[in-house]
Amino acid sequence: MIKRWATRLALIGILLTLFVALPLAYPAPLFAYGVVESDLSVYSDRPIPDPQARQFLQKVREKLDQSPIQEERPPMQIYVVNTNWRWRWLWIVPNNAAGGFIARPATRQYTFFSGANFETDELISPSGYRTQPPRTLDYYGAHELTHVMTANAVGLLRFQQMPEWVREGLADYVALEREKSAELFAKIGERDADLPMMRAYGVYAPYRLLVTHFLEEKGWSIDQLLQSELTLVEARAIVFRDLR
Ligand SMILES: [Zn+2]
């Protein structure tokens, strides 16, 4: 009797794992439409306008070309989840307000978007909010694919354990137009990010400030940054001392 129940439970466990992990690891059958632009491609559950999608992928590539991570880039993909049932199935991240995510190791060289309008260059967040510049579609593309590149460069364990200011600050550093740390500091000061700041300067402006300053003013190499163990408080103390 006990044995039979143990077998049933194990079976349910396996089925649940498959149900959650399989579409993340092999999402292609859920997305009927796609545009491929050399090593980058975008897939969606709704038709994608070809010229705009190509333009979007080209902009993402330009940003990734400027990334300090110079590892060889594998072909990478973006999957756009517009329909609600697909979103409910795939959005397994703890922060389910996120407009995009990667979940390594299941999501190998790709990311998911919670919805996109290529004509208006808007990402549609799970709450229905449509993002505005500077948070354009290519901002999200370059941000999420920088996470993929970072995980490739440092390995999964380090990617999960690295300070959040490094992981997210670097992704926004690649995804947004470059500016001197002093310029950004003049705009955001020493505040934590709030909603108006996120909308004006990207989601992680305080972290981007630190990354910009260490790479451009302190002369850190990308490896130094990726292996940094400085806490947010320690990193801010160093950077604010320079910028005040
Ligand atoms: Zn991120």
- pLDDT tens, position by position, 185-218: 999 999 999 999 999 999 999 999 999 999 999 9
94-99 LR contacts (CB < 8 Å, sep 24+) = 96/126, 97/125, 97/126, 97/127, 98/125, 98/126, 99/123, 99/124, 99/125, 99/126, 99/131, 99/140
> Is 10 among the domain residues?
no
43-66 pLDDT, tens digit each: 999 999 999 999 999 999 999 999
What's the pLDDT at 22?
86
- Domain of 154, CATH number, reads 3.40.30
Quote the distance between the C-alpha of residue 37 and its chain's center. 20
Count of domains observed in the chain = 2
Tokens 């795939």: give the residue.
Answer: 90
Residues 111 and 195 in one domain: no
Residues 124 and 185 in one domain: no
Boundary (domain end) residue, out of 161, 195, 223: 161
Residues 29 and 125 in one domain: yes
Residues 192 and 241 in one domain: yes
Question: How many A from CA of 168 to the centre of ligand 1?
Answer: 5
Residues 145 and 167 in one domain: no
Six token digits for residue 82: 């517009």
> Is 5 among the domain residues?
no
Question: How many A from CA of 18 to the centre of ligand 1?
Answer: 26
**Cα–Cα distance between 30 and 87 in angstroms, integer?**
11
> Is 121 among the domain residues?
yes
Question: Please, are residues 144 and 101 in contact by the beta-carbon 8 Å criterion?
Answer: yes
> Is 125 among the domain residues?
yes
Could you tell me the residue range of the domain that residue 189 belongs to? 163-244
**Cα–Cα distance between 223 and 56 in angstroms, integer?**
29
Six token digits for residue 61: 């590539």
What's the pLDDT at 94?
66
Question: How many A from CA of 49 to the centre of ligand 1?
Answer: 26
In sequence order, which residues have a C-beta less than 8 Å from that of residue 107 and are 6 or more positions away? 24, 25, 101
Question: How many A from CA of 93 to the centre of ligand 1?
Answer: 12
**Cα–Cα distance between 234 and 230 in angstroms, integer?**
6
Boundary (domain end) residue, out of 113, 146, 161: 161
Tokens 């002369």: give the residue.
Answer: 219
Question: How many A from CA of 171 to the centre of ligand 1?
Answer: 6
> Is 233 among the domain residues?
yes
Backbone angles phi, psi at 78, to 5 degrees: -125, 130
> Is 15 among the domain residues?
no
Question: How many A from CA of 95 to the centre of ligand 1?
Answer: 11
Boundary (domain end) residue, out of 161, 180, 213: 161
Residues 144 and 33 in one domain: yes
Q: Which residues of the chain have pLDDT under 70?
A: 94
Residues 187 and 152 in one domain: no
Residues 130 and 59 in one domain: yes
Angle in degrees, CA 98, 114, 86, rounded to 5: 120
Backbone angles phi, psi at 229, to 5 degrees: -110, 10
